[in-house]
Amino acid sequence: MFSNKENFKQAFLQKLEMMCGKSFGESTKRDQFSTLGNMVREYISTEWINTNECYRTSKGKQVYYFSIEFLLGRLLYHNLLNLGIEDVVKDGLKDLGIDLCALEEIESDAGLGNGGLGRLAACFMDSLASLNLPGHGCGIRYKHGLFEQKIVDGYQVELPEQWLRHGHVWEVRREDLAVKVPFWGSVDCKEENGELLFRHIDAETITAVPYDMPIVGYKTETVNTLRLWNAEPSAYPVHKDILKYKRDTELVSEFLYPDDTHDEGKILRLKQQYFLVSASLQSIILSYKKQHQCLHAFHEHISIHINDTHPVLAIPELMRILLDEEGMGWDEAWHITVNTISYTNHTTLSEALEKWPVRIFQPLLPRIYMIVDEINERFCQHLWEKYPGEWKRIESMAIIAQDQVKMAHLALVGSYSVNGVAALHTDILKKREMNSFYQIFPGKFNNKTNGITHRRWLLKANPLLASLISEGIGDDWIWEPNKLIQLRKYEEDRSFLQQLFQVKQQNKTRLASRIKEKTGLVVDTASIFDIHVKRLHAYKRQLLNILHVMYLYNRLKEDSSFQMHPRTFIFGAKASPGYYYAKKIIKLINTVADKVNEDVMTKEKLKVVFLENYRVSSAEEVFPAADISEQISTASKEASGTGNMKFMMNGALTVGTLDGANVEMMEKVGSDHLFIFGLTAEKVMEYEQQGGYHSLDYYHHDKRIRQVVDQLINGFFSDVDGEFEPIVDSLLMENDQYFVLRDFDSYVNIQKQAERTYENQDQWLKMSLRNIAASGYFSSDRTIREYAEDIWKIKSI
Ligand SMILES: *Cc1c(COP(=O)(O)O)cnc(C)c1O
């Protein structure tokens, strides 16, 4: 039905009438979208079945990627592209008077994630399938993804997100594969033939129903599976409060936690975590047992990867199954478990390391708690033998200490591989944050620098650039992104560079019209598009950026001879609903925007735009249009970043600190091709440990700083009395934990340098080209190959 345009048109019209019960003339955009979506899913299904059949019979090792977040975005165009049928569909629809881009916008983003961590999981799914690797995702089918952000009067307002309101064409409900997950109750212990047997009794069970989504590889026959679990009531218990039970049950897959760093200590969150791992493990073992008699060689056939510590209960859950259901002894069960599980750490922020109070953990998961307790006992015993008498060290490494279960310690002890997500991050883990564990398990630690799928973030998001590249070096880069390096042959080619410029301008025009449509603001496409999009967090330092904008505004107002190239500062960021300080920064950005954009004296030079509801689909419009990429986190705080890579691949130049993957970006492209400023991670950590930084000195001695900080509270912004006092407090009273004032001067200077470079168009375009050429390394295909070879030991089919 997709073999040629005519077949497609005929099939489309027929399908539309059958599905919607109306004629084409009466159909809505949504009818057309559903029709196309269903046709594509049906088209996928043969290869999906074949892929599964192939996995069943091949007996090769498979990997399951457990993640509490999958930030997929829209799938229609992505699937068309990967299936290689986008042209047939686009042309066919055009004949029928339908614009494919308009249909694409009907689809809601599957926004089942907060930011980088969830997007990484989604990029990995694409790379696994595209590399024909046997890898599947396991997650939760949240009814409401990350909240929808509205800006009202400059403040963030959160609305529940409703991606399932009109159904989701890509999912298939597999009620036949439902499993039950028990909570609460108690553990019954009895002796039989000299062995202790444990049983979880009086539990309240939740039914987990899988919804499978096909993950289509790029122009291959592989279709992997992303299995998302939905929580539903089991058979209703007779004498319970039925409504309450129903409500409590459904809540488990109702909301994504809108917070990727702080933990709110909610029982529900822990329930979600166990729900995910228990359901996923049960289904993995059910299918494993169709091929194997027993689980003695489980770890030779299955690898389970946990994306951060949220799914770490996979360790005690697998132990429970092996001990209680398979009747194995502890040592064998432990051997299998440790050799099955691998773990990625995503942060060194200590407040983000998950801990659960025993008083919550134990009653909710009584049998799992017993097993964690036993793992802890044995681990502490081992430590005691290694470090006799060193109570302090042992307590600091224990899995359970001070009535808390430390999830990262469980992950470190119960897995065979622990990886950081960029070279600097892994180094900090080894040398500092997890040094004591590194000393006993040096072989577990390894680095896997993050990546992004160049298919979504370049081929799909920036078709103009993708075709220019293919005209220049052929299209092999789509399969081997390292071949982008061949673009360097155009470094001195003015005509090619001019085309690169034209592409950027067209993408800027597209974003400008989106800005006009959303905010009413008219922005100048000849200005520098300076873009800062990512979750709002103090360490990501959106504050440093907006203070710099205020500084530029002051200069323009006070000094008529001050020269600057016109700039459009574009922000996009969601703040966690409970994160008070982050919300203040959003209000500040909007307040500055209102003041600056209205000022007739500066409006030719400066514009500030806050893009509401930043998410995957809007990100796809943003990255291609960027001149400058803001990657200005306090050094040592950003584990990797992936936004930085998307900008680079789209030819933006980075203004950034030596943090996360920025370091490796610099190594790949050369330090002359980005704008690095600020403290090093080393220096930040030295200040943190030994003191020596006094933010007040910077306030007193730098009048640019004094002016902008004073303006936050001196009436410079009307109608916001006291609004920004907490920001001033954090900078001056709390000694500026993120070194904003410390890096201010260096940031102003590097921004000036970036601006001068922009005005030398040849040089800028050459640098931009060099960035694109060097970005191949940051394809998630490279990352996934490394995981597959070094950690999972899986092979392409
Ligand atoms: C890539 C991406 C992120 C991660 O951005 P960072 O700059 O690495 O924090 C967050 N949200 C969305 C929608 C993304 O596409």
- Please indicate whether residue 616, judged by its CB atom, sits closer than 6 Å to ligand 1: yes
Catalytically annotated residue among 74, 271, 320, 346: 346
434 pLDDT band (50/70/90 cuts)?
Answer: very high
**What is the share, in percent, of the chain residues with pLDDT greater than 70?**
98
Q: Which residues form the domain of 207?
A: 64-74+114-415
Mean pLDDT of the chain: 96
pLDDT exceeds 60 at position 265: no
Do 482 and 389 share a domain, yes or no? Answer: no
pLDDT exceeds 70 at position 377: yes
Does residue 548 carry a catalytic annotation? no
State pLDDT tens for residues 726-738: 999 999 999 999 9
Question: Strand order in 675-676's β-sheet?
Answer: 606-611, 567-572, 528-533, 628-631, 653-656, 675-676
783 pLDDT band (50/70/90 cuts)?
Answer: very high
Task: Average the pLDDT over 612-639 and give the result.
Answer: 98
Do 104 and 150 share a domain, yes or no? Answer: no
User: Per the domain annotation, does 448 fall within a domain?
Assistant: no
Contact partners, residue 772, CB within 8 Å, separation at least 6:
465, 469, 484, 487, 648, 649, 650, 651
Strand partners, 529: 568
Q: Choose the residue to mutate in 147, 148, 347, 534 for probing ligand 1, maximizing ligand atoms within 8 Å of C-beta.
A: 534
Task: Note the pTM of the prediction, 2 decimals.
Answer: 0.97
Pairing mode of beta strands 172-173, 204-216: antiparallel
The burial class, CB within 10 Å (0-12 / 13-18 / 19+), for 221 is: middle
Q: Are 416 and 342 in contact (CB under 8 A)?
A: yes
- Please indicate whether residue 619, judged by its CB atom, sits closer than 6 Å to ligand 1: yes
State pLDDT tens for residues 126-139: 999 999 999 999 99
626 pLDDT band (50/70/90 cuts)?
Answer: very high
Q: Choose the residue to mutate in 72, 112, 114, 119 for probing ligand 1, maximizing ligand atoms within 8 Å of C-beta.
A: 119
- Please indicate whether residue 660, judged by its CB atom, sits closer than 6 Å to ligand 1: no
Do 586 and 610 share a domain, yes or no? Answer: yes
- Please indicate whether residue 615, judged by its CB atom, sits closer than 6 Å to ligand 1: yes
CA distance linking residue 348 with residue 429, whole number of Å: 7
Q: What is the CATH number of the domain that holds 517?
A: 3.40.50.2000
Looking at residue 239, its pLDDT comes to 64
pLDDT exceeds 90 at position 356: yes
Looking at residue 568, its pLDDT comes to 98
User: Per the domain annotation, does 36 fall within a domain?
Assistant: yes
Do 240 and 132 share a domain, yes or no? Answer: yes
Looking at residue 349, its pLDDT comes to 80
- Please indicate whether residue 643, judged by its CB atom, sits closer than 6 Å to ligand 1: yes
Task: Average the pLDDT over 93-116 and give the result.
Answer: 96
Looking at residue 263, its pLDDT comes to 53
Does residue 346 carry a catalytic annotation? yes
Which SS3 state, helix, strand or coil, does residue 434 take? coil
Looking at residue 193, its pLDDT comes to 86
Which SS3 state, helix, strand or coil, does residue 104 take? helix
State pLDDT tens for residues 697-720: 999 999 999 999 999 999 999 888
Does residue 240 carry a catalytic annotation? no
Do 169 and 90 share a domain, yes or no? Answer: no
Distance of CA 349 to the CA centre of its chain: 17
Q: Are 312 and 410 in contact (CB under 8 A)?
A: yes
Looking at residue 635, its pLDDT comes to 98
Provide the CB-side half-sphere exposure for 163 (13 A, CA): 28
CA distances, 118 to each of 245, 265, 630 (Å) = 30, 20, 21
- Please indicate whether residue 637, judged by its CB atom, sits closer than 6 Å to ligand 1: no
Looking at residue 258, its pLDDT comes to 67
Do 91 and 158 share a domain, yes or no? Answer: no
Which SS3 state, helix, strand or coil, does residue 459 take? helix
The burial class, CB within 10 Å (0-12 / 13-18 / 19+), for 561 is: exposed
Task: Average the pLDDT over 351-370 and give the result.
Answer: 93
The burial class, CB within 10 Å (0-12 / 13-18 / 19+), for 744 is: buried
CA distance linking residue 459 with residue 107, whole number of Å: 19
Contact partners, residue 729, CB within 8 Å, separation at least 6:
none
Kind plus residue range of the DSSP H or E element containing 71: strand 70-73
Closest ligand 1 atom to residue 618 Cα is 13
DSSP strands (E only) in 383-423: 400-401, 404-406, 417-420
User: Per the domain annotation, does 337 fall within a domain?
Assistant: yes
User: Per the domain annotation, does 427 fall within a domain?
Assistant: no
Interval between CA 642 and ligand 1 midpoint (Å): 6
Do 6 and 30 share a domain, yes or no? Answer: yes
Catalytically annotated residue among 269, 535, 584, 668: 535
Q: Are 396 and 353 in contact (CB under 8 A)?
A: no
**Which residue, judged by its Cα, is nearest atom 15 of ligand 1?**
616
Does residue 642 carry a catalytic annotation? yes
- Please indicate whether residue 639, judged by its CB atom, sits closer than 6 Å to ligand 1: no
pLDDT exceeds 70 at position 267: yes
295 pLDDT band (50/70/90 cuts)?
Answer: very high
Interval between CA 304 and ligand 1 midpoint (Å): 25
pLDDT exceeds 60 at position 753: yes
Do 254 and 372 share a domain, yes or no? Answer: yes
User: Per the domain annotation, does 439 fall within a domain?
Assistant: no
CA distance linking residue 58 with residue 64, whole number of Å: 16
pLDDT exceeds 90 at position 352: no
Task: Average the pLDDT over 147-158 and give the result.
Answer: 98
Looking at residue 261, its pLDDT comes to 56
Taking phi first (over 0 means left), then psi (-120 to 50 degrees means alpha), and beta for anything else, what does residue 761 get? alpha
State pLDDT tens for residues 335-344: 999 999 999 9
User: Per the domain annotation, does 441 fall within a domain?
Assistant: no
User: Per the domain annotation, does 433 fall within a domain?
Assistant: no
Do 404 and 515 share a domain, yes or no? Answer: no
Do 569 and 496 share a domain, yes or no? Answer: yes
Kind plus residue range of the DSSP H or E element containing 55: helix 29-58
CA distance linking residue 383 with residue 385, whole number of Å: 5
Do 337 and 277 share a domain, yes or no? Answer: yes
Interval between CA 534 and ligand 1 midpoint (Å): 5
Among 54, 70, 44, 37, CA closest to 229? 70
**What is the share, in percent, of the chain residues with pLDDT greater than 90?**
93
CA distance linking residue 291 with residue 274, whole number of Å: 26
pLDDT exceeds 80 at position 259: no
User: Per the domain annotation, does 197 fall within a domain?
Assistant: yes
Structural domain total, the chain: 3
Q: Read off the amino acid at residue 228.
A: L
Closest ligand 1 atom to residue 615 Cα is 13
Looking at residue 266, its pLDDT comes to 73
Do 375 and 487 share a domain, yes or no? Answer: no
Catalytically annotated residue among 136, 143, 144, 646: 646
- Please indicate whether residue 119, judged by its CB atom, sits closer than 6 Å to ligand 1: yes
Pairing mode of beta strands 400-401, 404-406: antiparallel
One DSSP character per residue, 735-782 reads: --TT-HHHHHHHHHHHHHHHHHHHHSHHHHHHHHHHHHHHGGGGBHHH
Last residue of a domain, one of 365, 387, 415: 415
Interval between CA 71 and ligand 1 midpoint (Å): 10
**Which residue, judged by its Cα, is nearest atom 5 of ligand 1?**
643
